[in-house]
Amino acid sequence: MRTNGRQSTRRWRRGTAGALRSEALVEEAAAPACVLDRSGRIIVANHALEQLLGVAAGGLGGRTLPSLAYPPDEELANAAVRQVLSEGLDRCQVEGRWVRVFSRELVWGGWDLSLVRDRRGRPELAIAMVRDLTDMKRSEHERRFFQFMFKLIGEADSSHQVLTAAVQTICHFTRCAMGQVWLPAGGVLVCSPTWYCSGYGFEKLHAASVQVSYKLGQGLPGLAWAKGQPLQLDDIRDTGRFDRAVAAQRAGVREAMAVPVTGAEGVVAVLELFVTHERAGEPGRLERIARVAEELGPLVERRRASEALAASQERFQAVTEAAVDAIVSADSSGRLLTWNSGAERMFGWTAEEIVGRPLTVIIPARFRELHNDGIARVRRTGTSKLAGQVVELAGLRRDGGEFPIELSIGSWNGPEGLAFSGVLRDITERKRAEAALAGANRELERANAELETLVYSASHDLKSPMVSLLGYLEYLRLDYGDVLGPEGNHYLNRMADSTVYMQQLIHDLIDLSRVGRTGVEPIAVDLRPLVRAIAEDAGAANPGMEFRVGRLPVVTGDPVGLRQLFTNLLENAVRHGGRPDLVVVVDGHERPDGGVELSVRDNGQGIPAEHRERVFGVFERLEGPSTSDGTGMGLAICRKIVEVLGGGIGIQGDRGTDVRIFLPAAVTARWPAQELTAGVAR
């Protein structure tokens, strides 16, 4: 026996034959059906109706039809029940929307109410037979939805208007009070001017939206963007979950939805829609909007692609017309398709005169056969050897004059197959300038060679007089030292010191002039043993100092020049370090571009930042006791040696002196397998 409310009602009605027959008829019916008592309450509902309205067995007992209706349709249901049970109408039909009790999902149903009278002819019961119209109504609703939306979209002139039409249509058919569009821009979502509302008071909500932007995963729109799926916020009053809650509440908003519009390239927009309190809670709304968004994505992408193509064509036309260079295009047969004003000025033909004619019109006669062979090869293979390259050719003006041109050519697929666009530049003046520059460079090289030869010769010829002068000064000291007395000997010493300094200057000038002029072929030089030998000599001469040699590469260069480079750098460190316990470290590492960075650093007194470039000049010395015996040529020689190798040299660091040498990848042979830093004895 069943023990639900329906059974107890049947026992109460057992004495009424009409009631019993009605209950039996309803329970045996295949279609959804129920029996209503005189007050309009359900006393019996069959299993089909319980399934339709989403309740358990007996869950409809005692409910009224209006209580099951969607709120806007309650009055329709109430009127139908009243006409049958109160006014005695034998039959009444009503179609409306009904809400499933537990899931709150919306269904459409057609209720056919038939009156059952008692023996005296008075209204006793009503039998309601129900037709499930949900699928039919949804199909019809969606058909009209899409039909109306596509009509508006078809009339739209831009992707902006497409989204505007979509938002307006969605709000109309789903009873959303407001809708707006968020667009990806530079890694964030920004609120576009595209929005729609069907009431008052939403301007401040839209204004608040325009003032913010969302990164991926931020806010309701950013979260829908990140997840790629529609999201619904049932209550926007929580400012922690919805940052524009204040403006939304003032507009009477209860629900907010964010639906991504997705195309082949990803999310192209996010629709944000708002529902007011009186329309909130409608089941299936988000799903219907999501289905529209699925259809909308490809439409927006295609429209944007069309806009981008049109804009690109306009920009191309504007650029080509404003360009000084000639910009032309031709098909795979070599016939001209476009001809800009730059080409008109350069070749003397107007576009009307030359478009459609073969390219050979602007090619000198001696090159036309090669051009025709190339065109035939393009038609045969579908590719061009010149595409993507810059070449220098000769052009032919309308008056028959030839001139040098530079051609940059690219290929593209036109309506009739492979086509080409080219930028042609008149390089007559450049060729003249290049010829003049080449002549000037040759003259400069000759002058530099003569100057270096002069410096070398003069320096070399001055060495002998300096040696003789030092000898005569020594003879004077030996033979006449007693006669000259202390003051005379002091002057002799000053003259000898100046002569030695002059001799050192001459020696350094000779070294500077020799850099890069040795005529020795570059060889692989292992820097580690070379620097270790220099460091050992420096350590022997300066017992209190420490020299460390780290990992150094094998480079290709002049071994004499490289030895002089590191000798000068270590001597400079010793001379100018300013402390007897100086520590000098030489090491290197490979740069990301394949080059080499070498370092010679010490913990001495260092060089002020404002003088670090100056010390590489010829005869440049800083004031101080450590510079009194130098000529100011050491670092100048180092710079020239490094520049001959194609590198650079400079001073870095805040503590001590850190000389950095940068050599290009071309001079590097290999890095030996050595990781440990080797020390040099004090």
What CA–CA distances, in Å, run from 513 to 509, 556, 632?
6, 21, 15
Whole-number pLDDT of residue 98 = 85
CA 660/CA 649 separation, integer angstroms: 6
What are the strands of the beta sheet with 523-526, ordered from one edge?
523-526, 554-557, 668-670
How many other C-beta atoms lie within 10 A of the C-beta of residue 567? 19
Residue type, 486: P
User: Could you tell me which CATH number the domain at 523-680 has?
Assistant: 3.30.565.10
Say how many CA atoms lie within 13 Å of 106 toward its Cβ. 18
Percent of the chain with pLDDT over 70: 81
Predicted pLDDT at 6: 43
| pLDDT band at 578; cut points 50, 70, 90 | confident
- The pair of structure tokens assigned to 30 is 């295949």
Contact 277, 254 (CB under 8 A): yes
Q: With residue 678 as reference, give the H or E element that holds it.
A: strand 678-680
Residue 654, phi then psi, degrees to nearest 5? -105, -20
Beta bridge partners of 602: 584, 657
**Closest by CA position to 70, among listed 106, 103, 109:** 106
What local confidence, expressed as pLDDT, does residue 649 receive? 87
- Read off the pLDDT of residues 172-192 as tens digits, 9 standing for 90 and up: 878 899 999 999 988 899 999
The rounded distance, in Å, linking the Cα atoms of 92 and 89 is: 7
pLDDT surpasses 70 at 248: yes
Average pLDDT over residues 94-103: 84
Convert the pLDDT of each residue in 494-525 to its tens digit: 777 677 666 666 666 565 555 555 556 778 88
603-626: average pLDDT: 70
Which of 142 and 120 is assigned the larger pLDDT?
Answer: 120
Common-topology check for domains 139-308 and 323-426: yes
| Beta-sheet pairing, 583-590 with 546-549 | parallel
Q: How confident is the model at residue 448 (pLDDT cuts 50, 70, 90)?
A: low
Question: Span 427-514: which CATH code?
Answer: 1.10.287
What's the Cα-to-Cα distance from 515 to each of 501, 518, 562, 646, rounded to whole Å? Answer: 21, 7, 10, 13
Amino acid at 25: L
Average pLDDT over residues 10-39: 74
What's the predicted TM-score (pTM) here? Answer: 0.42
pLDDT above 90: residue 33: yes
Region 568-575 average pLDDT: 85
User: For the chain, which residues make up each domain, given as ranges?
Assistant: 5-132, 139-308, 323-426, 427-514, 523-680
More confident residue, 356 or 307: 356
**Architecture category of domain 139-308 in CATH:** 2-Layer Sandwich (3.30)
Instruction: Tell me the Cα Rg of the chain.
Output: 48
Give yes or no for residue 420 having a pLDDT over 90: no
Residues 221/267, Cβ–Cβ less than 8 Å: no
Homologous superfamily of 5-132: PAS domain (3.30.450.20)
Residue bearing the bigger pLDDT, 542 or 682:
542
Q: Kindly state the DSSP code that residue 242 receives in the 8-state scheme.
A: -
Map 194-217 to HEC letters. Answer: EEEECCCCCHHHHHHHHCCEEECC
Burial (CB count <10 Å: 0-12, 13-18, 19+), residue 198: middle
- Supply the pLDDT for residue 631: 58
Is 351 buried (19+), middle (13-18) or exposed (0-12) by CB count in 10 A? middle
The pLDDT score that the predictor gives to residue 14 is 44
pLDDT of the residue at 374: 78
Which of the four CATH numbers 3.30.2020.30, 3.40.718.10, 3.30.450.20, 3.40.50.1980 does domain 323-426 have? 3.30.450.20
Q: Tell me: pLDDT of 1 over 50.
A: no
Going by pLDDT thresholds of 50, 70 and 90, the confidence category of residue 104 is confident
For all residues of the chain together, what is the average pLDDT? 81
Q: How do residues 229-238 score in pLDDT, each as one tens digit?
A: 999 998 888 7
pLDDT of the residue at 13? 43
**In angstroms, rounded to a whole number, what is the distance separating the alpha carbons of residues 220 and 230?**
10
Percent of the chain predicted with pLDDT > 90: 20
Q: Kindly report, residue by residue over 324-359, the tens digit of the pLDDT.
A: 788 888 887 888 888 888 888 889 999 899 898 988
Residue 91 has pLDDT above 60, yes or no: yes
Mean pLDDT across 529-534: 89
pLDDT, greater one: 615 or 52:
52
Name the one residue in this structure whose structure tokens are 């850190």: 658
Of the given ranges (159-163, 194-198, 231-235, 364-368), which has the lowest mean pLDDT?
A: 159-163
pLDDT at 383 over 50: yes
What is the three-state SS of 327-351? Answer: EEEEECCCEEEEECHHHHHHHCCCH
